Amino acid sequence: MPRRASSALATTLCATLLTGVAACGGEPANEPGDKTVMLYSGRNETLVKPILDKFTQATGIKIKARYGTTAQMAAQLAEEGERSPAEVFLSQDAGALGAVNKKGLLAGLPAEVTAKVPEAYRAKDGNWVGVTARSRALVYNPKLIAKEQLPKSVFDLADPRWAGKIAIAPTNASFQTFVTAVRVQHGEQKAKEFFTALKTNNPQIRENNIAIVEDVDAGKVPAGLVNHYYLGEIAKERGTTPEKLNAKLHFFAAGDTGAMVNVSGLGVLRRSANDPDVRTLVDYLLGPEAQQYFTQQTFEYPLASGAPAPSYVPPLAELKAPAIDLNDLESLEQSIALIKETGLTP
């Protein structure tokens, strides 16, 4: 399953661990003296395993990994609590890290670790840190929408003139986090009004962001809400560059919720706060090899080690993200409930 969309491969919270450890038990992750780190990953195996393999080759430390969606891994950690064999949680978004941290499961990271990442992209209490960043954007086909017709704000998509012209993926984690951002920045009432209006505009529903970008590129739908990196992924699969695709990116106006910047990130479970192998993994993911990998292979913004941004997007420092504290994006359950209430999902 070569795409991020395949992160839904874990259909139950109690799936068998890929390494053979019982999924729902509290057995120790490692044998005494075993140079192994137990990782719960909300990021797709195909996406992160190559860099984890490079880590093992470089350090001799093995990774026992359990993969699922970020929501599934966060829920499993909450269910297992202190019994969890997990040592590191690698999350697709800040909201899940915040939710796990709220349960008191994450340890404080050393200041020299968190200092590698800009303050906006790490926990206030130092209990999680961003690894990569991604911006929300509107992907559009200029053959179907003229540049001068593009919306300045994501809230413009509630206008009837956009009826049937926008594709969304309401069951996707990135869309759900966007819903949370609207709720956090503008309140529950405005969020409900906007997503109700969006539903009235008959949006075209897709399973994931990849499907949205492919259909926009093919001219099947004029535009859609996605994260920026999917253009890079599709271009790579086709052996071309993002600039040569029909689909283009439009970034919303400065401060608009549609321009939010989220992170993938990690937290260390309290039981492993002083484990030197865990620290080695954390340092590696924030180091130059891993940061360059994420830039070149997954087309995300690096947050540490000075790796450059992908060539087809503005530098991270130039993005005018809304004033949303990523630490406040933990209320995922309320966002899912709002999506259902407004009829965007059954």
| Binding residue positions | 229-230
List C-alpha distances in Å: 138 to 4, 219, 301, 323.
Answer: 19, 15, 17, 19
- Residue 338, burial from CB neighbour count under 10 angstroms (0-12, 13-18, 19+): buried
CA dihedral for 218, 244, 300, 35, sign (positive or negative): positive
Sign of torsion over alpha carbons 296, 258, 177, 234:
negative
Integer Cα distance of 178 and 165 in angstroms: 19
User: What is the DSSP code (8-state) at residue 125?
Assistant: T
Q: Which residues pair with 19 in a beta bridge?
A: none
Q: Report the sign of the C-alpha dihedral through residues 257, 258, 260, 265, in that order.
A: positive
Annotated binding site for Fe cation: 229-230
SS3 readout for 44-110: CHHHHHHHHHHHHHHHCCEEEEEECCHHHHHHHHHHHHHHCCCCEEEECCHHHHHHHHHCCCECCCC
Distance CA 105, CA 101 (A): 6
The span from the CA of 247 to the CA of 219, in Å, is 9
